[in-house]
Amino acid sequence: MQNGRLEKTTVVGAGLMGAQIGLVLALGSEETVLWGRRDESLERARANLKRYAGDLERHDQLMGQSAEDVLGRIRFVKDLGEAVAEAGFVLESIVEDLEIKQGFYKEVDGLVPEGVPIASNTSGLPITKLARDAKRQDRIAGSHFVQPGHIVPVVEVIKGERTSEETIERTCEVWRTLGRRPLVVEKDVPGFLVNRLQHAMIREAVNLLDSGVASAQDIDLAVQLGLAPRFTTAGPLEQRDINGMRMHVRVASHLWKTLDGWEDAVENVKRRVERGEVGLDAGKGYYDWSGRDATDVRAMKDEQLITRTAEVVKSIDFPPAGTP
Protein backbone atom coordinates (compact mmCIF):
# COMPACT_ATOMS: atom_id res chain seq x y z
CA MET A 1 0.00 0.00 0.00
CA GLN A 2 1.15 3.56 -0.76
CA ASN A 3 -0.81 6.70 0.11
CA GLY A 4 -3.77 4.46 0.91
CA ARG A 5 -3.54 2.81 -2.50
CA LEU A 6 -2.28 -0.49 -3.83
CA GLU A 7 0.96 0.03 -5.72
CA LYS A 8 0.83 -2.00 -8.95
CA THR A 9 -2.06 -4.26 -9.93
CA THR A 10 -2.40 -6.25 -13.13
CA VAL A 11 -5.30 -7.62 -15.16
CA VAL A 12 -4.43 -10.32 -17.69
CA GLY A 13 -7.11 -10.26 -20.39
CA ALA A 14 -8.54 -7.26 -22.23
CA GLY A 15 -12.10 -8.41 -22.90
CA LEU A 16 -15.23 -6.82 -21.45
CA MET A 17 -14.74 -8.22 -17.95
CA GLY A 18 -11.01 -7.56 -18.02
CA ALA A 19 -11.63 -3.89 -18.77
CA GLN A 20 -14.37 -3.64 -16.13
CA ILE A 21 -12.19 -5.19 -13.43
CA GLY A 22 -9.25 -3.08 -14.57
CA LEU A 23 -11.32 0.02 -13.87
CA VAL A 24 -12.19 -1.26 -10.39
CA LEU A 25 -8.52 -1.91 -9.60
CA ALA A 26 -7.47 1.48 -10.97
CA LEU A 27 -9.79 3.17 -8.47
CA GLY A 28 -7.37 2.25 -5.70
CA SER A 29 -4.02 1.55 -7.38
CA GLU A 30 -1.02 3.74 -8.14
CA GLU A 31 -0.82 1.86 -11.44
CA THR A 32 -3.00 -0.76 -13.09
CA VAL A 33 -1.62 -2.69 -16.06
CA LEU A 34 -4.01 -4.27 -18.57
CA TRP A 35 -2.50 -7.04 -20.68
CA GLY A 36 -3.83 -8.15 -24.06
CA ARG A 37 -2.41 -10.22 -26.92
CA ARG A 38 -3.26 -7.83 -29.75
CA ASP A 39 -3.33 -4.08 -30.35
CA GLU A 40 -6.95 -4.32 -31.48
CA SER A 41 -8.12 -5.89 -28.22
CA LEU A 42 -6.26 -3.27 -26.18
CA GLU A 43 -7.80 -0.46 -28.24
CA ARG A 44 -11.28 -1.91 -27.68
CA ALA A 45 -10.50 -2.14 -23.97
CA ARG A 46 -9.33 1.49 -23.95
CA ALA A 47 -12.60 2.62 -25.56
CA ASN A 48 -14.69 0.50 -23.18
CA LEU A 49 -12.80 1.83 -20.16
CA LYS A 50 -13.45 5.41 -21.23
CA ARG A 51 -17.17 4.65 -21.50
CA TYR A 52 -17.33 2.76 -18.19
CA ALA A 53 -15.46 5.49 -16.31
CA GLY A 54 -17.69 8.18 -17.82
CA ASP A 55 -20.82 6.29 -16.79
CA LEU A 56 -19.61 5.98 -13.18
CA GLU A 57 -18.40 9.59 -13.05
CA ARG A 58 -21.85 10.88 -14.01
CA HIS A 59 -23.26 9.04 -10.99
CA ASP A 60 -20.43 9.99 -8.60
CA GLN A 61 -19.32 6.36 -8.30
CA LEU A 62 -15.55 6.79 -8.76
CA MET A 63 -14.66 7.04 -5.07
CA GLY A 64 -14.41 10.83 -5.31
CA GLN A 65 -12.04 10.80 -8.29
CA SER A 66 -12.35 12.02 -11.87
CA ALA A 67 -12.54 9.66 -14.81
CA GLU A 68 -9.45 11.33 -16.27
CA ASP A 69 -7.38 10.64 -13.14
CA VAL A 70 -8.49 7.00 -12.88
CA LEU A 71 -7.93 6.27 -16.57
CA GLY A 72 -4.54 7.98 -16.40
CA ARG A 73 -3.31 5.28 -14.03
CA ILE A 74 -4.06 2.43 -16.49
CA ARG A 75 -1.26 1.20 -18.76
CA PHE A 76 -1.75 -1.18 -21.69
CA VAL A 77 0.87 -3.81 -22.56
CA LYS A 78 1.28 -6.94 -24.71
CA ASP A 79 4.27 -8.45 -22.90
CA LEU A 80 3.14 -10.75 -20.08
CA GLY A 81 6.41 -10.55 -18.16
CA GLU A 82 6.26 -6.76 -18.18
CA ALA A 83 2.60 -6.81 -17.15
CA VAL A 84 3.12 -8.85 -13.99
CA ALA A 85 6.62 -7.70 -12.98
CA GLU A 86 6.56 -6.12 -9.50
CA ALA A 87 2.77 -6.46 -9.32
CA GLY A 88 1.23 -6.71 -5.87
CA PHE A 89 -1.95 -8.39 -7.14
CA VAL A 90 -2.76 -10.19 -10.41
CA LEU A 91 -6.24 -10.89 -11.80
CA GLU A 92 -6.69 -13.31 -14.71
CA SER A 93 -9.63 -12.77 -17.07
CA ILE A 94 -8.68 -14.67 -20.22
CA VAL A 95 -10.86 -16.97 -22.35
CA GLU A 96 -13.03 -19.42 -20.38
CA ASP A 97 -11.19 -22.55 -21.50
CA LEU A 98 -9.73 -24.96 -18.93
CA GLU A 99 -6.64 -26.03 -20.91
CA ILE A 100 -5.76 -22.46 -21.89
CA LYS A 101 -6.11 -21.27 -18.31
CA GLN A 102 -4.02 -24.19 -17.02
CA GLY A 103 -1.26 -23.24 -19.45
CA PHE A 104 -1.49 -19.63 -18.33
CA TYR A 105 -1.10 -20.47 -14.63
CA LYS A 106 1.84 -22.76 -15.35
CA GLU A 107 3.57 -19.91 -17.20
CA VAL A 108 2.64 -16.96 -15.02
CA ASP A 109 3.51 -18.70 -11.76
CA GLY A 110 7.19 -18.25 -12.60
CA LEU A 111 6.77 -14.59 -13.56
CA VAL A 112 4.71 -13.16 -10.70
CA PRO A 113 6.73 -12.11 -7.63
CA GLU A 114 6.90 -14.52 -4.69
CA GLY A 115 3.87 -14.42 -2.39
CA VAL A 116 1.69 -12.27 -4.66
CA PRO A 117 -1.93 -13.54 -4.98
CA ILE A 118 -3.11 -14.55 -8.44
CA ALA A 119 -6.90 -14.57 -8.84
CA SER A 120 -9.10 -15.95 -11.63
CA ASN A 121 -12.30 -14.32 -12.83
CA THR A 122 -13.60 -17.67 -14.09
CA SER A 123 -17.37 -17.89 -13.84
CA GLY A 124 -17.39 -21.55 -12.90
CA LEU A 125 -14.27 -23.56 -13.76
CA PRO A 126 -12.81 -25.26 -10.68
CA ILE A 127 -9.95 -23.26 -9.16
CA THR A 128 -8.22 -26.49 -8.14
CA LYS A 129 -8.09 -27.64 -11.78
CA LEU A 130 -6.97 -24.24 -13.09
CA ALA A 131 -4.00 -24.25 -10.70
CA ARG A 132 -3.08 -27.90 -11.34
CA ASP A 133 0.20 -27.28 -13.19
CA ALA A 134 1.42 -24.31 -11.14
CA LYS A 135 4.17 -24.88 -8.58
CA ARG A 136 2.74 -22.45 -6.02
CA GLN A 137 -0.93 -23.38 -6.00
CA ASP A 138 -1.40 -21.92 -2.52
CA ARG A 139 -1.47 -18.37 -3.92
CA ILE A 140 -4.11 -19.03 -6.60
CA ALA A 141 -7.77 -18.27 -5.80
CA GLY A 142 -10.94 -17.30 -7.60
CA SER A 143 -12.24 -13.74 -7.83
CA HIS A 144 -15.44 -13.94 -9.84
CA PHE A 145 -17.15 -10.65 -10.66
CA VAL A 146 -20.80 -10.42 -11.65
CA GLN A 147 -21.39 -8.76 -15.02
CA PRO A 148 -21.12 -5.78 -15.35
CA GLY A 149 -18.15 -5.98 -13.03
CA HIS A 150 -17.58 -2.24 -12.64
CA ILE A 151 -21.14 -1.78 -11.33
CA VAL A 152 -22.15 -4.87 -9.32
CA PRO A 153 -20.27 -4.65 -5.99
CA VAL A 154 -19.91 -8.31 -4.96
CA VAL A 155 -16.88 -10.48 -5.76
CA GLU A 156 -16.87 -14.23 -5.14
CA VAL A 157 -13.52 -15.22 -3.60
CA ILE A 158 -13.14 -18.96 -4.12
CA LYS A 159 -10.85 -21.38 -2.32
CA GLY A 160 -9.19 -24.11 -4.32
CA GLU A 161 -8.15 -27.26 -2.50
CA ARG A 162 -4.63 -25.88 -2.06
CA THR A 163 -5.39 -22.16 -1.68
CA SER A 164 -3.91 -20.77 1.54
CA GLU A 165 -5.89 -18.79 4.09
CA GLU A 166 -3.39 -15.96 3.65
CA THR A 167 -4.23 -15.77 -0.06
CA ILE A 168 -7.96 -15.61 0.69
CA GLU A 169 -7.46 -12.92 3.34
CA ARG A 170 -5.21 -10.78 1.13
CA THR A 171 -7.54 -11.12 -1.85
CA CYS A 172 -10.55 -10.10 0.25
CA GLU A 173 -8.59 -7.13 1.59
CA VAL A 174 -7.87 -5.93 -1.95
CA TRP A 175 -11.55 -5.95 -2.87
CA ARG A 176 -12.68 -4.32 0.38
CA THR A 177 -10.16 -1.53 -0.16
CA LEU A 178 -11.84 -0.90 -3.51
CA GLY A 179 -15.35 -0.76 -2.05
CA ARG A 180 -16.31 -4.28 -3.11
CA ARG A 181 -17.96 -6.93 -0.93
CA PRO A 182 -16.11 -10.26 -1.09
CA LEU A 183 -18.20 -13.42 -0.70
CA VAL A 184 -15.95 -16.27 0.44
CA VAL A 185 -16.79 -19.57 -1.28
CA GLU A 186 -15.40 -22.27 1.01
CA LYS A 187 -15.87 -25.18 -1.43
CA ASP A 188 -14.74 -25.19 -5.05
CA VAL A 189 -18.14 -26.16 -6.50
CA PRO A 190 -19.11 -25.57 -10.17
CA GLY A 191 -20.72 -22.15 -10.63
CA PHE A 192 -19.81 -20.99 -7.11
CA LEU A 193 -22.61 -18.97 -5.42
CA VAL A 194 -24.09 -16.40 -7.79
CA ASN A 195 -24.29 -18.55 -10.90
CA ARG A 196 -25.75 -21.53 -9.06
CA LEU A 197 -28.46 -19.36 -7.54
CA GLN A 198 -29.06 -17.47 -10.77
CA HIS A 199 -29.26 -20.54 -13.00
CA ALA A 200 -31.60 -22.37 -10.64
CA MET A 201 -34.04 -19.49 -11.06
CA ILE A 202 -33.44 -19.16 -14.81
CA ARG A 203 -34.02 -22.89 -15.29
CA GLU A 204 -37.42 -22.60 -13.62
CA ALA A 205 -38.25 -19.43 -15.58
CA VAL A 206 -37.49 -21.20 -18.87
CA ASN A 207 -39.66 -24.15 -17.86
CA LEU A 208 -42.57 -21.89 -16.87
CA LEU A 209 -42.39 -20.12 -20.23
CA ASP A 210 -42.07 -23.27 -22.34
CA SER A 211 -44.89 -24.94 -20.38
CA GLY A 212 -47.20 -22.03 -21.20
CA VAL A 213 -47.69 -21.08 -17.54
CA ALA A 214 -47.07 -17.36 -18.18
CA SER A 215 -45.59 -14.92 -20.70
CA ALA A 216 -41.93 -13.94 -20.68
CA GLN A 217 -42.88 -10.45 -19.52
CA ASP A 218 -44.96 -11.65 -16.59
CA ILE A 219 -42.29 -14.13 -15.51
CA ASP A 220 -39.71 -11.33 -15.54
CA LEU A 221 -42.05 -9.00 -13.66
CA ALA A 222 -42.60 -11.69 -11.02
CA VAL A 223 -38.87 -11.39 -10.31
CA GLN A 224 -38.49 -7.63 -10.80
CA LEU A 225 -41.54 -6.57 -8.79
CA GLY A 226 -42.17 -9.64 -6.63
CA LEU A 227 -38.78 -11.01 -5.58
CA ALA A 228 -36.20 -8.30 -6.26
CA PRO A 229 -37.61 -5.63 -3.89
CA ARG A 230 -37.76 -8.19 -1.06
CA PHE A 231 -34.25 -9.45 -1.76
CA THR A 232 -32.84 -5.95 -1.27
CA THR A 233 -34.00 -6.09 2.35
CA ALA A 234 -33.39 -9.77 3.12
CA GLY A 235 -31.88 -12.65 1.16
CA PRO A 236 -33.66 -15.99 0.65
CA LEU A 237 -32.36 -17.63 3.84
CA GLU A 238 -32.98 -14.62 6.07
CA GLN A 239 -36.50 -14.41 4.63
CA ARG A 240 -37.16 -18.03 5.66
CA ASP A 241 -36.26 -17.07 9.23
CA ILE A 242 -38.47 -13.99 9.14
CA ASN A 243 -41.43 -15.83 7.62
CA GLY A 244 -40.97 -18.81 9.94
CA MET A 245 -39.53 -22.25 9.31
CA ARG A 246 -42.83 -24.06 9.90
CA MET A 247 -44.41 -22.30 6.92
CA HIS A 248 -41.23 -22.90 4.92
CA VAL A 249 -41.40 -26.66 5.53
CA ARG A 250 -45.08 -26.87 4.59
CA VAL A 251 -44.60 -25.07 1.29
CA ALA A 252 -41.30 -26.74 0.39
CA SER A 253 -42.65 -30.23 1.09
CA HIS A 254 -45.15 -30.11 -1.74
CA LEU A 255 -43.56 -27.49 -4.07
CA TRP A 256 -39.91 -28.47 -4.37
CA LYS A 257 -40.63 -31.89 -5.87
CA THR A 258 -42.59 -30.22 -8.70
CA LEU A 259 -39.75 -27.91 -9.76
CA ASP A 260 -38.15 -28.52 -13.13
CA GLY A 261 -35.18 -30.79 -13.75
CA TRP A 262 -32.35 -29.50 -15.90
CA GLU A 263 -32.43 -31.79 -18.94
CA ASP A 264 -35.61 -30.53 -20.63
CA ALA A 265 -34.83 -26.87 -19.91
CA VAL A 266 -31.41 -27.08 -21.56
CA GLU A 267 -32.82 -28.79 -24.65
CA ASN A 268 -35.45 -26.07 -25.02
CA VAL A 269 -32.78 -23.37 -24.89
CA LYS A 270 -30.67 -25.26 -27.47
CA ARG A 271 -33.64 -25.34 -29.85
CA ARG A 272 -34.01 -21.57 -29.60
CA VAL A 273 -30.33 -21.12 -30.41
CA GLU A 274 -30.66 -23.45 -33.42
CA ARG A 275 -33.52 -21.25 -34.67
CA GLY A 276 -31.27 -18.20 -34.41
CA GLU A 277 -33.22 -16.76 -31.49
CA VAL A 278 -30.07 -15.84 -29.57
CA GLY A 279 -31.25 -12.60 -28.01
CA LEU A 280 -30.80 -8.86 -28.35
CA ASP A 281 -28.04 -8.90 -30.99
CA ALA A 282 -30.14 -11.11 -33.29
CA GLY A 283 -33.33 -9.11 -32.77
CA LYS A 284 -35.15 -12.01 -31.14
CA GLY A 285 -34.79 -14.21 -28.09
CA TYR A 286 -37.45 -14.54 -25.42
CA TYR A 287 -38.49 -11.03 -26.51
CA ASP A 288 -38.84 -9.36 -29.91
CA TRP A 289 -35.97 -6.83 -30.14
CA SER A 290 -36.44 -5.92 -33.81
CA GLY A 291 -35.81 -2.24 -34.46
CA ARG A 292 -33.89 -1.79 -31.19
CA ASP A 293 -30.24 -0.79 -31.15
CA ALA A 294 -28.33 -3.29 -28.99
CA THR A 295 -25.74 -0.73 -27.85
CA ASP A 296 -28.45 1.70 -26.77
CA VAL A 297 -30.38 -0.98 -24.88
CA ARG A 298 -27.29 -2.11 -22.97
CA ALA A 299 -26.29 1.47 -22.17
CA MET A 300 -29.78 2.17 -20.80
CA LYS A 301 -29.70 -0.96 -18.63
CA ASP A 302 -26.25 -0.03 -17.28
CA GLU A 303 -27.47 3.46 -16.36
CA GLN A 304 -30.43 1.98 -14.51
CA LEU A 305 -28.22 -0.56 -12.76
CA ILE A 306 -25.72 2.06 -11.55
CA THR A 307 -28.49 4.11 -9.95
CA ARG A 308 -30.32 1.18 -8.37
CA THR A 309 -27.17 -0.55 -7.14
CA ALA A 310 -26.07 2.64 -5.39
CA GLU A 311 -29.45 2.85 -3.66
CA VAL A 312 -29.33 -0.80 -2.55
CA VAL A 313 -25.76 -0.50 -1.25
CA LYS A 314 -26.81 2.46 0.91
CA SER A 315 -29.60 0.38 2.46
CA ILE A 316 -27.45 -2.67 3.29
CA ASP A 317 -24.80 -3.06 6.01
CA PHE A 318 -22.02 -2.66 3.48
CA PRO A 319 -18.45 -1.50 4.23
CA PRO A 320 -17.57 1.89 2.73
CA ALA A 321 -14.88 2.14 0.06
CA GLY A 322 -11.43 1.94 1.56
CA THR A 323 -12.44 -0.20 4.55
CA PRO A 324 -9.84 -2.98 5.05
Active site residue ranges: 144
Instruction: Please give, one letter per residue, the 3-state secondary structure of the chain.
Output: CECCEEEEEEEECCCHHHHHHHHHHHCCEEEEEEECCCHHHHHHHHHHHHHHHHHHHHCCCCCCCCHHHHHCCEEEECCHHHHHCCCCEEEECCCCCHHHHHHHHHHHCCCCCCCCCEEECCCCCCHHHHCCCCCCHHHEEEEEECCCCCCCCEEEEECCCCCCHHHHHHHHHHHHHCCCEEEEECCCCCCCCHHHHHHHHHHHHHHHHHCCCCCHHHHHHHHHHHHHHHHCCCCHHHHHHHHCHHHHHHHHHHHHHHCCCHHHHHHHHHHHHHCCCCEHHHCECCCECCCCCHHHHHHHHHHHHHHHHHHHHHHCCCCCCCCC
